[in-house]
Structure 1
Amino acid sequence: MGKDTCYHCGDKCVQDYIVYDQKNFCCQGCRTVYEIFSSNDLTYYYDLQAAAGASPKIAECKYDFLSSEAISEKLVEFQDEEIQIISLYIPHIHCSSCIWILENLNKLHKSIFSSQVDFPKKRIRISYNWQTISLKEVVLLLTRIGYEPNISLDDYDQKINKKEYILIYQLGVAGFAFGNIMFLSFPEYFEVGEFWIEQYKPLFRWLMFFFSLPVVFYAARDYFISAYKGIRSNLLNLDVPIALGISVLFIRSSLEIIFDWGSGFFDSLAGLVFFLLLGKFFQQQTYSFLSFERDYKSYFPIAITRILKDGTEDTVPLHYIKKGDRLLIRNEELIPVDGLLLLGNARIDYSFVSGESAPVYKQPGDKIYAGGKQLSGAFEMEALKSVPQSYLTRLWGNAIFQKDRTNSFRTLTDRIGKRFTVGVLTIAFTAALFWLFIDSGKLINVFTAVLIIACPCAIALAAPFTLGNMLRIFGHKKFYLKDSQTIERLAQVDMAIFDKTGTITTAKKGTVSYQGMDLTVAEESLLKNTLRASNHPLSRALYDLLAEHDIVTLDEYQEHIGHGIRGAKEDGQIKIGSATFVGNKSVVSNQNTAVHISANDEYKGCFVFHNEYREGISNVFNDMQRNMELAILSGDNAGEKSNLEALVPLGTPLHFNQKPEDKLDFIAAQQQKHKRVLMVGDGLNDAGALAQSDVGIAISENINVFSPACDAILDATKLQQLPSYILASKQAMKVIQLSFVLSLLYNVIGLFFAVTGQLEPVIAAILMPLSSISIVAFTTAATYVIGRKLE
């Protein structure tokens, strides 16, 4: 760091600069930020990247509007008695230092609980105690440390997205200049005679120069900004060789005009920038299309129970919910939309949203927020808005639930990119030195062509386009993945573990019989209303089977995962679950799944389920057994052992009477043996096992059981396609590897022609985006073929 530059932001220090702690600062703001970081033991910020900060511009009155409760309510994503969550757009986020300091805001203020940065979108999600720090104070804190957020109340997200139009403007400017420069170059191309030389040659050349200025300083500015930030961070990123090539062309061409050496390379320069931006525009549009298609995950097959005006219940997809709808939220169900609690008491777990595990108690009339999970019984609510299309997708990807996993292909792409720039610069300077002694007239063309043709965009595009397209294809096949990295992990699994009840069995087709004493009307009503609050597959099956009864609000409801449920109303209580749970240890296990009932601590009998296995499940086991080990973990007794043995391949381990923690421990033990484990469960009792596994897939019927712990949700009707989905994931990885090979082949061939002086810069600029487009076309076509095989 030079003596004349600011230690915090890197700007030049003028005469009145400030010296503090033996360091120079350009202004009082930068010194204050350094003091804040230093006093809170956050100076590691400067170790990550020198001069990474921005000079803060603080105008406190600018954010007075945030003191208004009505205004802040529009911006706040979540609020309870203590926690408020806000998502802000911060344009200055640009490097690892930014991420590090912004995710350590809790060290700057004790009232901030956590902060998570979404680097590609330049957004930060902050959870804080709004009783001790206001939204305005949070924004001012960000501003003081140089990260002023961009806040707009009306159409907040849409205004941010308008920045995407800048690329279109840049492309228009480059295209306009390219066309005019080419037109002005025609006399030189066709060697027009004396009339041209004497009167109009200087004018045309200077016009070309002026047309090139907006191309270099506006249309191409992003390449220079990115290259500058990379160099300042001691990192040669992928835009360094591009910016260097543009600079060489512009400086050399300007010198030729000024000293009348020739007409320069303004046509090549404008063409280069135009085709670079055209390639970037194509990539952006294609990837935006894939991102839009990925939003289809918001429609994964999870439904909600809507109460109609006549009191009947109807199961509908989430996106059918409208403002004013009356909804039934059962135990363990996710609240899909903000609303008002109408009937029943709620005990809500908001850890999915805020990370805070302590339940929040709500009473009728209270406002409740989307993303919470009901923990005790059922309640009715009124929707205050429709379900945001991408809300559950964002919740699913919450950093709280991200697992610490390495991404081999992303690492490979990054590794290639870092080494690629160094290699390209070495080849460019070596080739330039060679032609300096052989034919100096070719030096500029060779140097520039090498820098342009060797752009590694095609390498960088292979993985995101392949995986993004596979996400879209899987979504259309009712297989919904949390992110593209799940495809990579799915391709690597070598052991599959299946739950039984609700996963490989279905209660819809099974037959149920009752064995025991008859229930009174009051007991059956209490049983019906207790089952109404539960989301377990067997509870849902029994609820649909029993006769209609008046809906009542339970005084008490408890669900003991893996054991049973208990409901109470006035003087009556009922227990539903295993024989041990309901208090009868003398019951002999039969050969089928049984749900036992006791009323007021008196054993009544049991409902016996004759298991109906999902169609084609035996073929699923046989297909998967060819490439991986299998195991069955069931919470039921061993009564189904003989039936299961007939379905699974010989020697498949079958484990019964497994509690949720037993399943988790079993998976952990397999992982210690270096197994990559796939867990397939029902998403309710198996949440811990799904989270522990390398890939957790929740099988979904038409119930609203949503677990952010899982990596994928598979429609129950598509379970027989699971082996095909795993095979498709493996094929997608092969497409990426082949794309890497093709990209490197392009660069080797292109570099040969560039180094030997057989390639003009403008031709290189045309070929560079064409190589990227060809990779995108290849990955799209290859994944389309993979998708067709899934039919």
Structure 2
Amino acid sequence: MSTENCFHCGNEVVKRDEIIFEEKSFCCVGCRTVYEIFSQNDLSCYYDFEKSPGATPLDIKGKYDFLNDEKIVSKLLDFEEQGTHIVSLYIPHIHCSSCIWILENLQKLDKGIVSSQVNFHEKKVRIIYGPEETHLKKIVELLSTIGYEPYISLENYENKKPTIDRTLIYKIGVAFFSFGNIMLLSFPEYFEVGEFWIEQYKGFFRWLIFALALPPFFYSASGYYVSAWKSIKSKMLNIDIPIALGIVVMFVRSTIDIFFDYGQGFFDSMCGLIFFMLLGKLFQQKTYNFLSFERDYKSYFPIAVTKVNSDGQEEPIQIYDIVKGDRLLIRNQELIPVDGILISPEASIDYSFVTGEAIAITKKSGDKIFAGGKQIGKVIEMEVLHSVSQSYLTQLWSNDVFQKRVEQKYKNVTDTISRYFTPALLLLAFASFGFWVFKEVVTAFNVFTAILIVACPCALALTAPFTLGNVLRIMGYKKLYLKNTTVIEQFTKVDTLVFDKTGTITTNKKTAITYEGTELDLLELKLLKNVLRGSNHPLSRRLYDFIPNQDKLEVTHFEEVTGKGIFAEIDNHSVKLGSSQFLQHMSENTHKKTKVHVEIDAVYKGSYVFNNQYREGLEKLFENLAKKYNLVVLSGDNDGERKILEKMLPQATILVFNQKPEQKLEYIENLQKQGKNVMMIGDGLNDAGALAQSNVGISISENVNVFSPACDGILDASQFSKIDYFLRFSKNAMKTIYMSFGLSLLYNVVGLSYAVSGNLLPIVAAIIMPLSTVTIVSFVTLMSNFYARR
């Protein structure tokens, strides 16, 4: 009976069961319904990415009724606030670009879904939705209806990670068992032992070898057949096609040898080939997982949170030292790093980093507040419910909303080579087979199989991710935490470096601070100390440390105007701090020093004068950078220190002062219009817009819990003098990639020359293939470590 393939899922359709809709063939009503849903919602592009990418939807009536229970739903949610819920669902069926495309367009199928983001590596989709317009049960049923049923286990919803898939290990075990036993049974024939019992049982041994070869052929190697078949169906040739073809050729040839008594065949080579290739795949998988783990763990932000001790003393601690029950102090614009309970009477939380909505939510004492929110206004205190989740913070930082669209040249090179490599390889294999088959049939099959195996471009494909993954790890150890590997490549394209002044090239550590004006009494100092307690501005933090400890007072109103100053109401007094323009007090500033002016109860008191201390190694750093880059210092401060900076910094350095945050952004934009590739280094507070606009934005962190998702990297302030080192290291990383490309291609050329000449057996090729992967990974690791030490 003639058959067609289902337009949606690709399964064979028997003519009598065929469902025709819009001149397309479907295997069942479910597949047709999914097609209708996509078509009606203008999502038929789903089928353009890959032919027949879908799965047949299953009947799920009543299966997810337990999601009507709000307590269970609350356990499954990552984030639960008024108007916004976020859930991460594990979806095993995710396998191709069509899956990603449809799952990131779910808002077209359900208007209650705000956005969805796929993590292809982990097969997860993170969905943000409005609980008033839709429900988790409805979303899960929608996903199941279109063939993407999520994995939800009630037994382990506290820990939503699915069970570990050990299939690959089982396949390796089966292949190794058969490989070892077949080799053992083949020894007598290898050594041509002619004893009576060998001759008598030769047939039995051969058929026993055949039986032992069946499990590796049908089970262990099944992944290659499935991948090759999907590749052929989608009309895109991947590397699994020649591997699968080589295995099938060896099996068929060996079966014919035994059946017609030509010899014992190549079952030992075939099983050895499968075993070594799977071993190479396991090595690759383990290395990727190791890099992923290191990236997740090591990419914590080098920010400090202020912990309030039992005696009321404040001390900065690293976020990964936070434990349940700790009491934290969160200042204006600081990130809430963990879930907790609000202790202060009231708080205003901005969850725009999580939800994309910039409307602040008011919380009362005793309410739960979630990690990822940003405190707006006066200082608050909270009690920790859970220790910090590194993976959550990394996910928040890496949110697609804040990603910059960058060219990824190394990926294009890898993809281009892989696209043309497979057809060229198949052509060479068949041409060589045609040449040898007229000379010696056995050699022809050996040559054909060896070519298909030895030229596997696995090592070629691993070059870029392993190099950049290792560089990312090394930079993390040296306290530069990058958002992703594409930033490394962007480093190599930078030609202009723009530095903020206050808090970037100057340090926030205690320096000489003097007061000019009417002497402040104890009450006024107490008011100032408590107002400054809520600010994160570098000058505020320095002044807060400078003023002696005072009793705590409740701040009733707190407003910080970015780049200008603070207005606060406290204990029935009003306090204004900031620039002279903000206080509308035009004082004589003949020396144009950095000042913070003070006004209490509408009476101008005076100003604190700061003698800036520049970071150690600043002059040497700028001297080295000036040889290769255009340098700019962009400051919101006045030009009082222009002469000092002109003496300290190279002559070509451009100094720009009195820049508001929006003017900094415009300045970066103008540089880019001139064709410059700009890297901005700022403190992440007043420079958020400029960091976002620049090609690469690096935020300096110095015991300040300010979170800037727009930046591409966070540099610990102690490593400021090593910026030149990081830029050079990035260029050497790209050089390593190109060198390893050359090494991988050289390996393929040498291997193929031996294979075509008939001097390379399939089993040797199977051993060499994973060894080439080890060689490439070792090479890029050694080279990147070598450049790191230099």
CA contact (8 A) 1:3 1:24 kept: no
Alpha-carbon distance, 1:632 to partner: 0.6
CA contact (8 A) 1:325 1:382 kept: yes
Residue in 2 aligned with 1:347? Answer: 348
Residue in 1 aligned with 2:5? Answer: 5
Residue in 2 aligned with 1:565? Answer: 566
Cα separation, 1, equivalents of 2:588 and 2:251: 89
Residue in 2 aligned with 1:752? Answer: 753
Residue in 2 aligned with 1:501? Answer: 502
Residue in 2 aligned with 1:316? Answer: 317
Q: Secondary structure of the residue that 2:4 maps to in structure 1?
A: coil
CA gap 1:377/1:228 in 2 versus in 1, 3 angstroms: farther
Cα separation, 1, equivalents of 2:452 and 2:156: 42
Alpha-carbon distance, 1:95 to partner: 0.9
Which one is further off, 387-396 or 118-127?
Answer: 387-396
Q: What is the one-letter code of the residue matched to 2:278? A: L
1:430-449 alignment, distance < 5 Å: 430-449=431-450
Q: Deviations over 1:54-93 (max 9, x none)?
A: 0011223222222222222221111111111111111111
CA contact (8 A) 1:298 1:391 kept: no
Residue in 1 aligned with 2:459? Answer: 458
Residue in 2 aligned with 1:48? Answer: 49
CA contact (8 A) 1:699 1:715 kept: yes
Residue in 2 aligned with 1:133? Answer: 134
Alpha-carbon distance, 1:587 to partner: 4.0
Q: What is the one-letter code of the residue matched to 2:601? A: N
CA gap 1:377/1:238 in 2 versus in 1, 3 angstroms: farther
Cα separation, 2, equivalents of 1:255 and 1:114: 57
CA gap 1:133/1:606 in 2 versus in 1, 3 angstroms: same
Cα separation, 2, equivalents of 1:563 and 1:259: 91
Q: Deviations over 1:539-597 (max 9, x none)?
A: 11111111222323322111111111111135321111110001213443533211111
Q: Does 1:400 align with 2:401?
A: yes
Alpha-carbon distance, 1:389 to partner: 2.8
Q: What is the one-letter code of the residue matched to 2:187? A: F
Alpha-carbon distance, 1:784 to partner: 1.5
Q: Secondary structure of the residue that 2:706 maps to in structure 1?
A: coil
Gapped runs of 5+ residues in structure 1? none
Cα separation, 2, equivalents of 1:227 and 1:658: 59
Residue in 1 aligned with 2:278? Answer: 277
Q: What is the one-letter code of the residue matched to 1:556? A: H
Cα separation, 2, equivalents of 1:197 and 1:421: 44
Residue in 1 aligned with 2:774? Answer: 773
TM-score, normalized by length of structure 1? 0.97
Cα separation, 2, equivalents of 1:507 and 1:163: 47
CA contact (8 A) 2:76 2:158 kept: no
Cα separation, 2, equivalents of 1:579 and 1:386: 43
Cα separation, 2, equivalents of 1:381 and 1:59: 43
1:284-683 alignment, distance < 5 Å: 284-569=285-570, 571-588=572-589, 590-683=591-684
Q: Deviations over 1:570-625 (max 9, x none)?
A: 53211111100012134435332111111222221111100100111000001111
Residue in 2 aligned with 1:240? Answer: 241
Q: Does 1:200 align with 2:212?
A: no
Q: Secondary structure of the residue that 1:311 maps to in structure 2?
A: coil
Cα separation, 2, equivalents of 1:178 and 1:162: 29
CA gap 1:159/1:564 in 2 versus in 1, 3 angstroms: closer
Q: What is the one-letter code of the residue matched to 2:709? A: P
Q: What is the one-letter code of the residue matched to 1:703? A: V
Residue in 1 aligned with 2:146? Answer: 145
CA gap 1:736/1:154 in 2 versus in 1, 3 angstroms: farther
Q: Deviations over 1:106-140 (max 9, x none)?
A: 00010001001111211110011122211111111
CA gap 1:310/1:760 in 2 versus in 1, 3 angstroms: same
Q: Deviations over 1:651-706 (max 9, x none)?
A: 21100001111111111111222222111111111111111111111111111112
Cα separation, 1, equivalents of 2:161 and 2:245: 30
CA contact (8 A) 1:523 1:574 kept: no
Cα separation, 2, equivalents of 1:469 and 1:448: 34
CA contact (8 A) 1:526 1:568 kept: no
Name the count of aligned residue pairs.
Answer: 788
Identity %: 55
Cα separation, 1, equivalents of 2:573 and 2:159: 55
CA RMSD of aligned residues (A): 1.7
CA contact (8 A) 1:589 1:637 kept: no
1:16-165 alignment, distance < 5 Å: 16-155=17-156, 160=161, 162-165=163-166
Residue in 1 aligned with 2:698? Answer: 697
Cα separation, 2, equivalents of 1:207 and 1:357: 70
CA gap 1:589/1:348 in 2 versus in 1, 3 angstroms: farther
Q: What is the one-letter code of the residue matched to 2:783? A: A
CA contact (8 A) 1:687 1:707 kept: yes
Q: What is the one-letter code of the residue matched to 2:275? A: F
Alpha-carbon distance, 1:344 to partner: 3.8
CA contact (8 A) 1:344 1:380 kept: no
Q: What is the one-letter code of the residue matched to 2:507? A: T
CA gap 1:429/1:161 in 2 versus in 1, 3 angstroms: farther
Q: What is the one-letter code of the residue matched to 2:271? A: A
Which one is further off, 413-422 or 98-107?
Answer: 413-422
Q: What is the one-letter code of the residue matched to 1:724? A: Y
Alpha-carbon distance, 1:756 to partner: 1.1
Q: What is the one-letter code of the residue matched to 2:46? A: Y
Cα separation, 2, equivalents of 1:403 and 1:759: 48
Residue in 2 aligned with 1:740? Answer: 741
Cα separation, 2, equivalents of 1:378 and 1:260: 87
Q: Secondary structure of the residue that 1:584 maps to in structure 2?
A: coil
Cα separation, 1, equivalents of 2:579 and 2:99: 53
Q: What is the one-letter code of the residue matched to 1:38? A: S
Which one is further off, 289-298 or 22-31?
Answer: 289-298
Alpha-carbon distance, 1:319 to partner: 1.2
Alpha-carbon distance, 1:196 to partner: 5.2
Which one is further off, 424-433 or 104-113?
Answer: 424-433
CA gap 1:783/1:688 in 2 versus in 1, 3 angstroms: same
Q: Does 1:171 align with 2:172?
A: yes
CA contact (8 A) 1:299 1:317 kept: no
Q: Deviations over 1:342-377 (max 9, x none)?
A: 104222221211222222221212111101111222
Alpha-carbon distance, 1:517 to partner: 1.4
Q: Secondary structure of the residue that 1:163 maps to in structure 2?
A: coil
Alpha-carbon distance, 1:42 to partner: 0.9
Which one is further off, 350-359 or 122-131?
Answer: 350-359
Alpha-carbon distance, 1:438 to partner: 3.1
Q: What is the one-letter code of the residue matched to 1:459? A: L
Which one is further off, 20-29 or 750-759?
Answer: 20-29
Cα separation, 2, equivalents of 1:266 and 1:158: 44
Cα separation, 2, equivalents of 1:375 and 1:501: 22
Q: Does 1:252 align with 2:253?
A: yes
Q: What is the one-letter code of the residue matched to 2:501? A: K
Gapped runs of 5+ residues in structure 2? none
Q: Secondary structure of the residue that 1:555 maps to in structure 2?
A: strand
Cα separation, 1, equivalents of 2:760 and 2:161: 41
Q: Deviations over 1:625-651 (max 9, x none)?
A: 111111110110000101111121112
Alpha-carbon distance, 1:786 to partner: 1.7
CA contact (8 A) 1:493 1:676 kept: yes
Which one is further off, 156-165 or 603-612?
Answer: 156-165
CA gap 1:145/1:74 in 2 versus in 1, 3 angstroms: same
Alpha-carbon distance, 1:3 to partner: 6.1
Cα separation, 2, equivalents of 1:407 and 1:27: 41
Alpha-carbon distance, 1:289 to partner: 2.3
Q: What is the one-letter code of the residue matched to 1:64? A: D
CA gap 1:683/1:384 in 2 versus in 1, 3 angstroms: same
Which one is further off, 240-249 or 33-42?
Answer: 240-249
Q: What is the one-letter code of the residue matched to 1:752? A: S
Cα separation, 2, equivalents of 1:385 and 1:333: 18
CA contact (8 A) 1:74 1:153 kept: no
